[in-house]
Structure 1
Amino acid sequence: MQLAQRLPVELIALTRATCYARPLSTSARRFTAPPAADSRVFVTTPIFYCNADPHIGHLHSTLLADVYGRFSRLRNPLAPPPVVCTGTDEHGLKIQRVAEERGMTPQELCDGVSPRFKDLADAANVGYTHFIRTTEERHKRAVDHIWRELNSRGFIYKSSYAGWYAVSDEAYYTRAQVMEVVDPKTGEKHFASIESGSRVEWMEEDNYKFRLSAFRERLIEWLSSSPNPLQPSSRTTALLASLSPADVSEPTDLADLSISRPSARLTWGIPVPDDPDHTIYVWIDALVNYLTVAGYPWKGGEAYVEGQVWPPDLMIVGKDIIRFHALYLPAVLMALDLPLPKHLLAHGHWTMDKFKMSKSRGNVANPFEAMKLWGTDAMRMYLMRAGGNSAADADYSATEIEAFYKKSLAGQMGNLLSRISNKKLIEQLSSPAAIYTAPTVVEPEDERLVELLTALPTTFDEHMATFDVHRALASVFDVLAEANRHIQLLAPWLADASPSSMHRSLFYESETLRITGILLQPFMPEKSKQLLDTLGVSEERRGWPDLGLGEGGERTMMKGKLKQLFPNVKLEEVKA
């Protein structure tokens, strides 16, 4: 079967309300909820290495998956609930060495660290359906089955390896991928990965190899397809360049891949079937986790059957593990005649003081403390807003978090809700229905806000579909800023304010909050609920079809002393 036949470009077949029926462009790979009611969206995070506690970078990856899982549900509530998986990667030399240093077994180390990643997902209100650990028996069965399948099809052979290996990355590197560096503290010279900066060591050993080179043309064809499966497109450009170096004498990323380690060196892993002298390479083991979650091998009695979940609709990965997910995994899937992932989103890193957050460097932000200080939903919003441009890195800053909380969340959204919740203002309306009944005439002062509100659902949808999360959120805050300008202009709280000014203020500003509240449900589920509850929006009117201006239905705003949407944060009470 030809690649083009196996990977058809998706057709967008989702009904849109008239007010936002502008068609989407076809210039970029886009994420869309499936139109069929029996389709199930499958979103994955990378599985996180179990050698230390999680940091903000891990939370960012997990939140991206959660946001897109929730967004698919908002976009098509008739489809089965999305499958969202995360978990921990627990085998490999790095785990083995850390455990030895701490005087414990690798399993004890993993049993202590893995729950912290699950705790983080729970604390961040991530709606995952599966938390997988690669030490689970079901996963070991899947890895064993895949090895035997690859071997029976002639894609595995025994050979030897001589080259560079980074224990920190659990990755093999060619000479072109490493450079000599000098330790600034000791003056010691050593080699390190150009890509990750991790120290590498020379390694010579017998092992098994996977015929990765056999898939070079098919991988290039897949990565070059339009629209690109790997996003942002700049990642595709860089990866394709590495597959066709200008200097033909340089090896490419598609040399055959070593996929085992001698068990004399690596005991902590899944044994090679029928050869106890070798342990399966940790990345081959780890990449199978997505198939394990989907129930592979599908005759093994797992929760899902063939074709029900696989392939993933969206795989979230960090930019440092692109090769594994955009080359190694697709090649293995091709060898097994399995469908390839529909979308790979490779996001940037979080830095602190312009250095990549790293457990070994020690410059990591504690996500538990950050959520305790600012609130879960506020941190969800900040990480998606500041880190939503996957083509770039984001720098973590307590000062920027404070500014975002005070200016954007409390200052724009919270302040607008407080203004229209004013009891005296509501009581002066000629009729309670005026809050949800549109004025008969759009006055000149209202035109810009009406224009932005009408376009917002399409604008938001387009940015989400092309993985421009930061732009999707920017469009929301642009509307909120205009709504605040609008109510300031009309000043309905003044004693001489006209009935028209009061009506228009309350209608357009409440509609702004209602529409943005619906759109932001995937990002801040609890705060969105509080906002929509305050506005009196019915639970049945919080979906995509309700995004049209004036389409919120009858409602009565909550009265009495209302809880602040984003209350003041006393920084001295909690350590940042």
Structure 2
Amino acid sequence: MSKPIYITTAISYPNGPPHIGHAYEAIATDAIARFHRLSGRDVRFQTGTDEHGLKMAQTAEKRGLAPIELATEMSHNFSAMCDRLNISHDRFIRTTDADHHVASQAIWQAMADKGDLYLDKYEGWYSVRDEAYYDESELIEAEGEGGTTEKLSPQGTPVEWTVEESWFFRLSRYQEPLLKLFAENPAFLKPDSRRNEMIKFVEGGLNDLSMSRTSFDWGVKVPGSENHVMYVWVDALTNYLTGLGYPDETDLYPKYWSEGGDMIHIIGKDIVRFHTIYWPAFLMSANLPLPKQIFGHGFLLNRGEKMSKSLGNVVDPISLADAFGVDQLRYFLLSDVVFGKDGTYSPEMIVTKTNADLANNFGNLAQRSLSMIAKNCDGKIPAAGAATDAETRLLAELATCFDQICGFMTSGSFQIDAAIDVIRERLSATNQYFADQAPWALRKTDPDRADSVLYHTAEAIRRLAIMLRWVIPESSDKMLDLLAQGPDHRDFDALDTPIGEGLAVPAPQAIFPRLDMPADEGEA
């Protein structure tokens, strides 16, 4: 049997409302989790919010709120986004959860017991927006107001000189173990371009890492040093363990982490350093297993531009879902963006893509063929009849399509767009088969042959709907409802169980209405 799989998004920092970038990561990770569930694997899927840190404390103060009030309000927004976008997570974790404080203090203590933590004073550059420390050599200079020069982080965020007592982690001890990890396990970090960046960073030398703050108190308390709160990234990264019951040996932790389950983190490319250098070093120090893989996806660009509040192009994903449909938004983001690279979107692109692939291709095929079954076959799946070369080829290519999908999704690179593209090609081929065989004409000259074409078209639609369930789950289930397929006949194992001859099916309904171009793009 396949190993259990534990798949996570990065937890979102909720000092502002969710945007389309958060939605993209949640949708992509959900698609991967759903694919593995359909394959019969035992899957646990986690997402959530990262609620501590100076940035949250400052934002709360500006709004006249206690930090926990802001955290609760904003976390609710992210949870609502997941609900609206049909994200099938098993736990929505909050770093203010009581069990998370226990887990964070447990891994801290494990690192302390290893001798990897020591007390000293931190002096250096810190970006509140990134919640990250930067070496002088990493900073860039930009012209500020009045012609002055200001220092910025590599992400273009302001930095400030910080001096305070801090616990430090002996990250420098882990330079060689990390290089060994990258060399011996190339699949640990994907895409390859991200791994090459991190190897270069580690080869440049690792400094010990400041791990606590005393200038504010919104965070997890350091065991034995109550005036210190943990550096927010220690706290945030530990959420992956918290969700499995660490440090207690519950049923979840042994199954998905400590006994060799496949642990996969899906994250944005801007936080790869934290996940592939700091996190494995913390786990090595605490004598805990490492994740199997970390995948750093790209950014979503609004009409080719990076989203920015100052540009006014930050888009609410729920408004997009309301305007175009949840599955339409999911389909566009998963099929039009190469997972691992930056992608661009616009309302017009969403409309064009989903109309072509879903309304015109899949929806039109289903509507025409199922309407013929309702009208000419008493609403029952007709007899398969004798298969010609056309039917044999149709079914064989559908089987090959599924093999290709599995290859794209289990190779370690998560070629989501390529997997969807082979399904789209089979949809087009099935449409072409239906048009070439012309069952409406055969009805007059060879009714049995017409029935066979309608049977095989329905069978192709059934298989295609199952193969798309991880991408557009709600619409695929509606399609399978129209084919009278029960809940036990909707996973990948059911692909080999043909649709039943004589099966009564409901009256056909349109599942993919054509979308109109937005009159005012600001509405979406």
What TM-score, normalized to structure 1? Answer: 0.84
- Check whether the contact 1:86–1:130 (CA below 8 A) recurs between aligned residues: yes
Alignment correspondent of 1:522:
470
Q: Could you tell me whether the CA contact under 8 Å between 1:537 and 1:555 is conserved in 2?
A: no
Quick check: which one's helix share is greater? 2
Aligned residues between the structures = 517
Match 2:405 to one of 448, 460, 466: 460
Q: Specify the alignment match of 1:134 in structure 2.
A: 95
2:170 alignment counterpart: 211
Q: Would you say the 8 A contact 1:232–1:390 is kept in 2?
A: no
Q: Distance in 2 between matches of 1:186 and 1:362?
A: 25
Would the alpha carbon gap of residues 166 and 499 (structure 1) be closer, same or farther in structure 2, given more than 3 Å must change?
same
User: Do 2:50 and 2:236's aligned partners in 1 also have CA atoms closer than 8 Å?
Assistant: yes
Instruction: Check 1:92–1:432 CA distance in 2 against 1; reply closer, same or farther (3 A cut).
Output: closer
Q: Does 1:56 align with 2:8?
A: no
User: Which structure 1 residue ranges, 5 or more long, are not aligned?
Assistant: 1-34, 245-250
Report if aligned partners of 2:357, 2:424 keep a CA contact under 8 Å in 1.
Answer: yes
| Equivalent residue letter for 1:64 | A
Residues in 2 aligned to 1:411 and 1:452: alpha-carbon distance in whole angstroms? 21
On the 8 A contact 1:439/1:503 being kept in 2, the answer is no
The reply to whether residue 338 of structure 1 matches residue 276 of structure 2 is no
> 1:148-227 counterparts in 2 under 5 A?
148-183=109-144, 187-194=147-154, 196-227=155-186
Deviation string 1:370-427 (CA, Å, 9 cap, x unpaired) is 111212122122221123x222111121110000121111011101101101237861
**1:113 counterpart = 2:59:** no
Q: Are positions 1:563 and 2:523 aligned together?
A: no
Tell me: CA distance 1:259–1:424, structure 2 relative to 1, closer, same or farther (3 Å): closer
Distance 1:160 1:354, change over 3 A: farther
Which piece of structure 1 moves more, 328-337 or 232-241? 232-241
SS at match of 2:229: strand
| Of 272-281 and 470-479, the range deviating more from structure 2 | 272-281
- How far the C-alpha of 1:547 sits from its partner, in A, is 2.1
- C-alpha change, 1:343 and 1:368, in structure 2 (3 Å) is same
Aligned residue number for residue 123 of structure 1: 84
In the other structure, the counterpart of 2:491 is: 543
CA RMSD of aligned residues (A): 2.6
Check whether the contact 1:156–1:210 (CA below 8 A) recurs between aligned residues.
yes
Pair 1:349-2:296 in alignment: no
The residue identity in structure 1 corresponding to 2:359 is: A
3-state secondary structure, aligned to 2:187: coil
User: Shift of residue 130 of structure 1?
Assistant: 0.9
Instruction: Provide the C-alpha distance between the structure 2 equivalents of 1:157 and 1:63, rounded to a whole number of angstroms.
Output: 41
| 1:237 alignment counterpart | 196
Residues 143-171 of structure 1, C-alpha deviation per residue, up to 9 Å, x if partnerless? 11221221121000122333221111101
CA displacement, residues 226-272 of structure 1 (integer Å, 9 cap, x when unaligned): 4511112222122212222xxxxxx43x32111112x2x22211222
Given the alignment of the two structures, is residue 271 of structure 1 paired with residue 216 of structure 2, yes or no?
Answer: no
1:432 and 1:517, CA in 2 relative to 1: closer, same or farther beyond 3 A?
closer
CA contact (8 A) 2:4 2:255 kept: no
Query: What letter corresponds to residue 284 of structure 2 in structure 1?
Result: M
Q: Residue 373 of structure 2 contacts residue 382 of structure 2 at CA under 8 Å; is this kept in 1?
A: no
- Kept in 2: contact 1:491–1:497 (CA 8 A): no
Q: Match of 1:190, SS?
A: strand
Q: In structure 1, what is the Cα distance between the partners aligned to 2:12 and 2:246?
A: 21
2-structure distance, mates of 1:43, 1:278: 31
Q: 1:52 to 1:149 in 2, by over 3 A?
A: same
Residues 390, 468 of structure 1: 8 Å contact kept: yes
Is the partner of 1:568 in helix, strand or coil?
A: coil
CA distance, structure 2, for counterparts of residue 557 and residue 375 of structure 1: 29
Determine the C-alpha separation between the residues in 2 that align with 1:555 and 1:64.
38
Confirm or deny: 8 A CA contact 1:298 1:304 kept in the other structure: no
The CA deviation string for residues 198-237 of structure 1, in whole angstroms up to 9 with x for no partner, is: 2222223331111112111221222223451111222212
Q: Percent identity?
A: 34
1:171 partner letter: A
Opposite residue 73 of structure 1, the aligned amino acid is R
Sort the Cα spacing of 1:291 and 1:358 in 2 relative to 1 into closer, same or farther, 3 A.
farther
Is 2:382–2:454's contact at 8 Å kept on the other side of the alignment?
no
- Shift in Å, 1:535: 1.9
Q: Secondary structure at the match of 1:314?
A: strand
Cα distance in 1 for partners of 2:385, 2:277 equals 54
Equivalent residue runs for 1:270-349 within 5 Å:
270-298=220-248, 304-310=252-258, 313-349=263-299
Change (3 A) 1:428 1:72: closer
CA distance in 2, matches of 1:233, 1:66: 23
In structure 1, the residue matched to 2:345 is: 396
2:388 to 398, 422, 441: 441
How much has 1:572 moved relative to structure 2?
5.9
In the alignment, is the contact (CA less than 8 A) between 1:298 and 1:306 conserved in 2? Answer: no
- Give the alignment partner of residue 73 of structure 1, picking from 37, 49, 55: 37
Q: What pairs up with 1:17-36 in 2 under 5 angstroms?
A: 35-36=1-2
Cα distance, 1:497 vs structure 2? 5.9
For residue 492 of structure 1, what is the amino acid of its counterpart?
P
**TM-score, scaled to structure 2:** 0.92
What is the Cα deviation at residue 496 of structure 1? Answer: 5.3
Deviations 1:451-470 (A, max 9, x none): 43120110011111130001
SS of aligned partner of 2:321: helix
Q: How does 1:460-539 map to 2 (within 5 A)?
A: 460-466=405-411, 467-494=414-441, 498-499=446-447, 502-539=450-487
SS in 2 for 1:421: helix
Deviation, 1:438, is 6.2
Assess if the C-alpha contact under 8 Å between 1:490 and 1:501 holds in 2. Answer: no
